[in-house]
Chain A
Amino acid sequence: MLLLADQTVVEPFGAVKPLLFYALAAVIVLSAWGIVLSQNIVRMAVYLLLTLAGVAGFYFMLHAEFLAAVQLIVYAGGTLILIVFGVMLTSKNPFMQLKTALWERFVGVLIGLVIFGLLLFGLVHTALPTGAAATGESGGGHYQVAAIGRALLSDYLVPFEVAAVLLLVVMIGAAFMARRSAKQGNG
């Protein structure tokens, strides 16, 4: 293959990256507040889409392109759209409002604080790599994907297969439950 230009690590745009970071962070934080404060479930889904896309943007900035693509495919393109689909098919009134009781808010804030504390604890007690290793600029995205694939099919083969079988079981179960029973006829 050709040796392309971006193998050399020159950062002439010192000012651009922080700006991009803060812009993405603002999108993530604001849309996360939107999810929590909104009462309409489809609006929540759209705000969640913005949050997930913002996190994917972070992954792109960190040169973890494959992770970003997986984030978009699995969460934004798969899980979230199924939630929206389910809501649209099941709710009687499309503009249904979700009201939360006081104790629910209390529990929610408590869980949020606990998770925040755990993340903070983890962040403080982890030695973060610095320099080229931290930004992943030494390795390209393609080799990343190859490494992930090799790891999944060698070191982590058993968990991978278990997850695959679990998904297959779920799919067969869903198809069985959704199957039209013979008694109802073709109606």
Chain B
Amino acid sequence: MLPQFIVSVITILVVIHVILLSCSYLIFLERKVAAWTQDRIGPNRTNFSFGLLPFKGKHFGLGQALADGIKLFFKEDYTPPQVDRVLFILAPIIVVIPALLSWAVIPWGGYYLFDQAFTVPAWLPLLGGVVVSPTIVNVTAAPINIGVVYILAIGSTAVYGVVVGGYASNNKYSFLGGLRATAQMLSYEIPMALCVLVVILTSHGALGADQFVHQQANGVWNIFYQPLLAIIFFACVLAECNRAPFDLAEAEQELVGGYHTEYSSMKWALFFLGEYIHMITGAGFFTLLFLGGWDLPIIQEPLIGGLGLVLLKFIVFASKILVLLFVMMWIRWTLPRFRFDQLMRLAWRALIPLALLILLASGFLVFKQHAKWFSPWLYTAVNIGAIVLAAVIGPFLPQGPPMNRKVGLAGSRFSPVV
């Protein structure tokens, strides 16, 4: 109990500081990615002097991230007069807390070995003088046995901040943004949970986050067994954190700023911090389930080790998350936004049936996993089969009512004046 407690506290401190600080640099990266996509240069001038300190040069514009943060802190925190004051203040808090809680079970650094017994110094309160025998501990904040279900459970409460913020603002655009976010998150939770269920099923009933990584480190990453499932899961992650092409809740062209139209200063920043934390959580969850967590592809690294190995695993895990974050930004600045009916159709008519199909076929394979002909690569065949099946029978399925109504306005694109 005690070694785990010490490691948990250290993990929490390290992870919170490293990642919250890196969030400001993620915004910098986002601006850079936007610039590269749009053939611009992006922020490249702000250095670390901020007009006060004696630094010369441009520092590649890296001071921009800190300057953004300082600006947000010193902006006027304006509360419009007609809002529901309690909920208006509560909403940004409800956004950030569940997002942060999800990190508790992510296995950042594998296992750490206390290789010799030691005694806690007597001057420490509560713990003084306790003798700790050599043990193996999990480098994560909370090594609970149902880690993956925990992430899903916490994720299901993430929608409240957006809804409450949209409601409390007493602004019809915010309100619509909140409603859209609710419908979207409710819809995309279902295929996400189905994907997780398939992975749990095919991982011999593992539930703890470390068990998934452990199994993939000893075998093949799940993304090779379940390629389609990984794509579905990634789409759901994007939708759950309201990122483009699923950012209908804050569609500028339609809803001004969506649910955060009325927010300013740090309250607004907390909404964005929440979005970035959700992105990191989603990327971490994806890495955990499909990319083998801290596992390096070819090298067979030792499972249990000292501080160096834990740090190496943390860096590997963080690099995978960083690559996924880059992909998310790349998608955001490349793909156009969905229309709302397209969004709903994608969830209910494509992702959920496909995930159910894979669940059914994988369930059958798991049932037969002791048969002679069984091989895990059959899961890959199931995934490819699902894609082929969808492509073949998709055109013959009954279509929904046409949503893209053509405007009968004389002189418009659809009915030109002749």
Question: Of the candidates A8, A68, A146, which one forms a contact with B153 in the assembled complex, judged by CB atoms under 8 Å apart?
Answer: A68
The reply to whether A4 and B1 contact each other, CB–CB distance below 8 Å, is: no
In the assembled complex, the Cα of A85 lies from the Cα of B1 at a distance in Å of 43
Secondary structure at chain B's binding surface: helix, strand, loop or mixed? helix
- Digitize B170-192: 1 where CB-to-A-CB distance is under 8 Å, 0 elsewhere: 10000100110011001001000
A133 within 8 A of B: no
B157 to chain A, nearest CB (A): 5
**A15 contact set on B, CB distance < 8 A:** 126
**A60 contact set on B, CB distance < 8 A:** 144
B335 within 8 A of A: no
The reply to whether A186 and B401 contact each other, CB–CB distance below 8 Å, is: yes
A16 within 8 A of B: yes
The reply to whether A142 and B208 contact each other, CB–CB distance below 8 Å, is: yes
In the assembled complex, the Cα of A1 lies from the Cα of B111 at a distance in Å of 12
- Tell me the nearest residue of chain A to B129, going by C-beta: A12
- Digitize A71-112: 1 where CB-to-B-CB distance is under 8 Å, 0 elsewhere: 011001110010011001100001100000000000000000
- Contacting residues of chain A (1-41) with chain B, CB-CB under 8 angstroms: 1-6, 8-13, 15-16, 40
The reply to whether B157 and A77 contact each other, CB–CB distance below 8 Å, is: yes
Q: Which one of B2-10, B18-26, B305-313 is at the interface?
A: B2-10
Question: Of the candidates A12, A46, A56, A78, which one forms a contact with B164 in the assembled complex, judged by CB atoms under 8 Å apart?
Answer: A46
A55 within 8 A of B: no
User: Which of B4, B86, B160, B214 counts the most chain A CB atoms within 10 A?
Assistant: B160
Question: Of the candidates A12, A43, A53, which one forms a contact with B84 in the assembled complex, judged by CB atoms under 8 Å apart?
Answer: A43
In the assembled complex, the Cα of A46 lies from the Cα of B168 at a distance in Å of 11
- Tell me the nearest residue of chain B to A140, going by C-beta: B145
The reply to whether B157 and A142 contact each other, CB–CB distance below 8 Å, is: no
User: Which of A8, A42, A77, A95 counts the most chain B CB atoms within 10 A?
Assistant: A77
- Contacting residues of chain B (192-209) with chain A, CB-CB under 8 angstroms: 205, 207-208
B279 to chain A, nearest CB (A): 20
B118 to chain A, nearest CB (A): 14
In the assembled complex, the Cα of A30 lies from the Cα of B178 at a distance in Å of 27
**B157 contact set on A, CB distance < 8 A:** 49, 53, 72, 76-77
The reply to whether A73 and B152 contact each other, CB–CB distance below 8 Å, is: yes
Question: Of the candidates A5, A88, A141, which one forms a contact with B145 in the assembled complex, judged by CB atoms under 8 Å apart?
Answer: A141
- Tell me the nearest residue of chain A to B112, going by C-beta: A5
A58 within 8 A of B: no
**B155 contact set on A, CB distance < 8 A:** 77
- Tell me the nearest residue of chain A to B206, going by C-beta: A142
In this complex, the interface size class of chain B, counting residues with CB under 8 Å from chain A, is 35 or more
Question: Of the candidates B130, B145, B159, B170, which one forms a contact with A12 in the assembled complex, judged by CB atoms under 8 Å apart?
Answer: B130
The reply to whether A65 and B146 contact each other, CB–CB distance below 8 Å, is: yes
Secondary structure at chain A's binding surface: helix, strand, loop or mixed? helix
Q: A81-B182, A89-B179 are in contact. Are A72 and B5 (CB under 8 A)?
A: no
A165 within 8 A of B: no
The reply to whether A4 and B153 contact each other, CB–CB distance below 8 Å, is: no
A115 within 8 A of B: no
**A6 contact set on B, CB distance < 8 A:** 1, 4, 143
In the assembled complex, the Cα of A12 lies from the Cα of B130 at a distance in Å of 8
The reply to whether B153 and A77 contact each other, CB–CB distance below 8 Å, is: yes
**A85 contact set on B, CB distance < 8 A:** 163, 179, 182-183, 186
**B160 contact set on A, CB distance < 8 A:** 46, 49, 81, 84
Q: Which one of B134-142, B228-236, B324-332 is at the interface?
A: B134-142
B127 within 8 A of A: yes
**B319 contact set on A, CB distance < 8 A:** none
In the assembled complex, the Cα of A38 lies from the Cα of B207 at a distance in Å of 40
B340 within 8 A of A: no
Question: Of the candidates B84, B137, B164, B303, which one forms a contact with A95 in the assembled complex, judged by CB atoms under 8 Å apart?
Answer: B84
The reply to whether B136 and A42 contact each other, CB–CB distance below 8 Å, is: no
User: Which of A4, A10, A40, A66 counts the most chain B CB atoms within 10 A?
Assistant: A4
**Listed A/B pairs (15) with beta-carbon separation below 8 Å:** A4-B4, A4-B135, A12-B5, A46-B87, A46-B164, A65-B146, A65-B149, A66-B146, A78-B156, A81-B182, A84-B182, A94-B170, A141-B146, A144-B145, A186-B401
Shortest beta-carbon contacts, A-B, top 7: A77-B156, A141-B145, A72-B153, A5-B135, A69-B153, A142-B145, A69-B149
Question: With contacts A5-B136, A5-B138, A49-B160 known, what are 5 further pairs, Cβ within 8 A?
Answer: A2-B304, A12-B1, A66-B149, A69-B153, A142-B208
A residues with CB within 8 A of B: 1-6, 8-13, 15-16, 40, 42-43, 46, 49, 53, 56, 60, 65-66, 68-70, 72-73, 76-78, 81, 84-85, 88-89, 94-95, 140-142, 144-146, 180, 186
